[in-house]
Structure 1
Amino acid sequence: MPDPERIGRWGYRTFHRAADGVTAVDLAAAAARDALDRDGLAVSDVDLLVLAHSEMPDYPHWDSSTALARALKMRDTQTLLLNEGCASGVTGLALVAGVLATQPEIQTVLFTAVNRVSEFHRNRMTVNNAVHSDGAVAAVLRRGHERNRWLATEQLIDSDLCDWFRTDYGGAVEPVPPEGWSAATAPPGHERVQAHFQKDPQRLREFGGQAIDRSIAVIDGACHRAGVSRDEVTHYIYINDPDGIADVAPLLNLPLSRTNQEIARRHGHMGAADQLTALGELLEAGAVEPGDLVALTGISIGMRWYCSLVRA
């Protein structure tokens, strides 16, 4: 990238890059096996397999959730594929709740989220103001479980901004990039944002304020759905964006020690895997205790603001 020091200014210390030949399904399968082993479960215990996939799929016209099932030797297990960018690792919890409400026979869900950057399609350092990492996480969700319960999900979108951060080449509209194009030298994602506001600093600042307001609004909306107040939120877990975390946590009267800021510095932005990874690490460290109310939030392509509440 032309300005490597910018990464340091964003607050990141490291990021993850998968080895060549390791696919998104490979990463998701490793995380899924780990989750099953931790819970002492066999693949036959899983009634629904969910894959939240926040990057370019391994292949077009291909269901990576069923490919994940094959990798786990689940031949006929029901699957669900989610691809709302990095939101799907959080908003997908509400979709699972909907499946549980309509299919009472489902008792155990294996929920996985993966991010594997295709460096042919984009430069992981210039997509936006985050370093994009490769990573996967998995969690076992059980009907009626007493701990770490999903309570509610809220979302807001601004469809006028749906083209921000899109990948221009490789899809049906422009399947082949022009001669000489390379993700390494393509314009960074923030140029499309600046062009939208005609590089007007005042308009950019106003949008920054609106983005923060919407981040708070989805938390309030989820709290309303769950019948709790914002003051009851004890932990704020955002996408792995250290600056974004620092902007919102004070508005919730939460110290940065009750956020995922340090985890974000260590891992980089792992797309849909960010929030569940952070929640798992905070639970293992004892930083999130039984009864705590955790807000899993973020901003994603769409543009989409979202929040799911989890009672530890």
Structure 2
Amino acid sequence: MPYAKITGLGFYVPENVVTNHDLTRYMNTSDEWIRERTGIEQRRFFTEGKDTTAKMGARAAAQALERAGITAEEIDFIVFATLSPDYFFPGSGVLLQRLLPFREIGALDVRAQCSGFIYALSVADQYIRSGMYKKILVVGSEIQSNIMELSDRGRAVAVLFGDGAGAAVVEATDEPDHRILSTHLHSDGNFAEDLFLEHPGAVLKQRLTPQMIEEGKHLPFMRGNAVFKHAITRFPEVIREALDANGYTIEDLDLLVPHQANLRIAQHVQKTLGLRDDQVFNNIQKYGNTTAASIPIALTEAWEAGKVKPGDLVCLAAFGSGFTWASALIRW
């Protein structure tokens, strides 16, 4: 049975930098308030006419392919994670497929929100282990700045999110010492409405009405306290699950790359697990929460900074809307 190995990483963020001070022009907030509650200092917003979810994914993918030393024509399959596709349908995976010189390969979209990249990575891992494909492109890309309202009404969510894309090339390998060791996926739909975007959806005959807009039903909704409470429980659980499944302990871990949801969550998880600062990588300060893109962006930056080296034990972990949560353990 072949194993799966990440051979190339890349990311792209829009050029438009939006600081906390910039947001004070639209809502009653402050740089101090946002930093204290989220750790975020700035984020990136897309440029209309230049950036799309698929185009940003293609930019990240091109970098990942170059670093893997392969071309788009060699990729066998695409797994694209996003909650913000370019169109309601088709998915952004096929839009990415037409942007680079891929063959007429399959493209699968994954809708697992903040856990999307790990879910997509798990799909790639299983396809490669089964022998069905040898080279798979996994992408997480999001444009969220245009589904938020920059106002006092939308403040609780608007200060958190940003736009960006990350990608990984996953290839078959026979090296048991350098591979994806395991992935672990979970969900609990009982809390779906604690973090969701209600309309437009397929529940009602009229998907969007003036009344819905007036009531803010077209904006993301989050019960922040509920999300925080569940996140600080599920993160440590799923990280320990990955380590236990492979016979490792926290002391064996070289680097944790958590989904960049909130710096307070990451710090709480770090304290709970007893991890040192050098064992956890955070970059939410620069990009905010980029949902499915956050882990590949952070993993790429960690690798570029020399924090991910051959032989390192690396854990990816995420928690988000659904609720969904997941982890992946990798021997780099």
What TM-score bracket applies, with the shorter chain setting the length?
0.7 to 0.9
The SS at the match of 1:298 is strand
Distance in 1 between the 2:280 and 2:326 partners? Answer: 16
Distance in 1 between the 2:178 and 2:288 partners? Answer: 24
Query: 2:274 aligned to 229, 236, 253, which one?
Result: 253
Contact 1:134–1:270 (Cα < 8 Å) also in 2: yes
Matching residue of 1:199: none
Give 1:32-181 correspondences, 5 Å limit.
Answer: 32-53=61-82, 55-102=83-130, 104-117=131-144, 119=146, 121-123=147-149, 126=155, 128=157, 131-144=160-173, 146=175, 149-174=179-204, 175-179=207-211, 181=213
Distance in 2 between the 1:220 and 1:4 partners? Answer: 37
Distance in 2 between the 1:93 and 1:237 partners? Answer: 14
Distance in 1 between the 2:180 and 2:124 partners? Answer: 10
Contact 2:148–2:219 (Cα < 8 Å) also in 1: no
Instruction: Kindly state the Cα deviation for residue 227 of structure 1 after the two structures are TM-superposed.
Output: 2.9
Distance 1:131 1:36, change over 3 A: same
The SS at the match of 2:210 is coil
C-alpha offsets along residues 94-142 of structure 1, whole Å, 9 cap, x if unaligned?
111221233x2521111111011162x4337746496211101111111
C-alpha offsets along residues 167-187 of structure 1, whole Å, 9 cap, x if unaligned?
121221251143482698977
Give the aligned length.
296
Contact 1:43–1:72 (Cα < 8 Å) also in 2: yes
The letter of the residue matching 1:233 is L
Matching residue of 1:231: 251
Instruction: Kindly state the Cα deviation for residue 148 of structure 1 after the two structures are TM-superposed.
Output: 5.8
Q: Greater shift after overlay, 32-41 or 146-155?
A: 146-155
Contact 1:235–1:254 (Cα < 8 Å) also in 2: no
Instruction: Kindly state the Cα deviation for residue 188 of structure 1 after the two structures are TM-superposed.
Output: 6.9
Distance 1:238 1:126, change over 3 A: farther
Q: Identical aligned pairs, as a percentage?
A: 25
Distance in 2 between the 1:273 and 1:183 partners? Answer: 29
C-alpha RMSD of matched pairs (Å): 2.7
Contact 2:148–2:158 (Cα < 8 Å) also in 1: no
Instruction: Kindly state the Cα deviation for residue 210 of structure 1 after the two structures are TM-superposed.
Output: 5.0
Distance in 1 between the 2:160 and 2:188 partners? Answer: 24
Query: 1:278 aligned to 288, 298, 306, which one?
Result: 298
Contact 2:145–2:162 (Cα < 8 Å) also in 1: no
Whether 1:265 and 2:285 are equivalent positions in the alignment is yes
Distance in 1 between the 2:105 and 2:266 partners? Answer: 38
Identify unmatched segments of 5+ residues in structure 1: 195-203
What is the TM-score when the length of structure 2 is the normalising length? 0.80
Distance 1:187 1:27, change over 3 A: closer
The SS at the match of 1:15 is strand
The SS at the match of 1:137 is strand
Query: 2:325 aligned to 297, 301, 305, which one?
Result: 305
The SS at the match of 1:176 is coil
Contact 1:12–1:264 (Cα < 8 Å) also in 2: yes
Query: 1:19 aligned to 43, 47, 53, which one?
Result: 47
The SS at the match of 1:143 is strand
Q: Greater shift after overlay, 171-180 or 77-86?
A: 171-180
The letter of the residue matching 2:148 is R
Whether 1:3 and 2:22 are equivalent positions in the alignment is no
Distance 1:248 1:183, change over 3 A: farther
Instruction: Kindly state the Cα deviation for residue 306 of structure 1 after the two structures are TM-superposed.
Output: 1.6
Q: Greater shift after overlay, 18-27 or 209-218?
A: 209-218
